[in-house]
């Protein structure tokens, strides 16, 4: 009987651990990814706001969809950032939450979603420089009570002219 109880406890612990790992991955957690050593980063594994200062033309690709959307990311060296969508006159303010290692973490919103009309969204992104591109993983959280209130988005940005 004790053997059966031990096996059940181990099964529960293994099941809980794998659920946590999947949830972190689904939420866009990229902390476990190895740093990328590319010529775009001044020192292997480090990044600064000055490295990404400027205007970036970004293409967003929602996970599980063939659709894409574009925007301009305006990044200053002093953490004053903004997102400019082509179909809107206003600029969405972006707050830089942290700069550490090879990553810059930002948050924006709430603001009107471009993908879901009439719905507010708040985004949290992790950006890295890779091969001269600004590569990002974003988690969009929509103000809705439905089951599809979270969307993962991959992004690729190139420096504007």
User: What integer pLDDT is reported at residue 114 of this predicted model?
Assistant: 87
Where do the domains of the chain lie? 1-32, 35-159
Q: What is the chain's mean pLDDT, rounded? A: 79
The residue among 161 and 106 whose pLDDT is bigger is 106
pLDDT grade, residue 119 (50/70/90)?
A: very high
User: What integer pLDDT is reported at residue 27 of this predicted model?
Assistant: 46
pLDDT grade, residue 52 (50/70/90)?
A: very high
- HEC secondary structure over the chain: CHHHHHHHHHHHHHHHHHHHHHHHHHCCCCCCCCCCCCCCCCCCCCCCHHHHCEEEEEEEEECCCCCCEEEEEEECCCCEEEEECCCCCCEEEEEEEEEECCEEEEEEEEEECCCCCCCEEEEEEEEEEECCEEEEEEEEEECCCCCCCEEEEEEEEEECC
pLDDT grade, residue 29 (50/70/90)?
A: low
User: What integer pLDDT is reported at residue 72 of this predicted model?
Assistant: 96
Please give the Cα distance from 110 to 88 (Å, whole number). 15
User: What integer pLDDT is reported at residue 21 of this predicted model?
Assistant: 43
User: What integer pLDDT is reported at residue 79 of this predicted model?
Assistant: 84
pTM: 0.69
The residue among 27 and 110 whose pLDDT is bigger is 110
pLDDT grade, residue 142 (50/70/90)?
A: very high
CATH number for domain 35-159, candidates 2.40.128.120, 3.20.19.10, 3.10.180.10, 1.10.10.10: 2.40.128.120
């Amino acid at each position: 009987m004790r053997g059966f109880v031990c096996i059940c406890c181990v099964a529960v612990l293994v099941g809980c651990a794998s659920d946590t790992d999947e949830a972190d991955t689904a939420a866009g957690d990229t902390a476990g990814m190895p740093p990328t050593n590319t010529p775009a980063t001044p020192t292997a594994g480090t990044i600064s706001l000055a490295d990404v200062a400027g205007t970036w033309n970004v293409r967003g690709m929602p996970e599980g969809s063939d659709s894409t959307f574009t925007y301009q990311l305006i990044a200053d060296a002093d953490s004053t950032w903004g997102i400019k969508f082509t179909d809107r006159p206003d600029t969405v303010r972006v707050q830089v939450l942290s700069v550490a290692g090879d990553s810059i973490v930002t948050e924006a919103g709430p603001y009107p979603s471009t993908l879901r009309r009439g719905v507010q969204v708040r985004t949290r992104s992790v950006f890295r420089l890779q091969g001269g591109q600004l590569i990002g993983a974003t988690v969009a959280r929509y103000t809705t009570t439905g089951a599809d209130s979270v969307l993962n988005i991959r992004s690729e940005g190139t420096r504007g002219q």
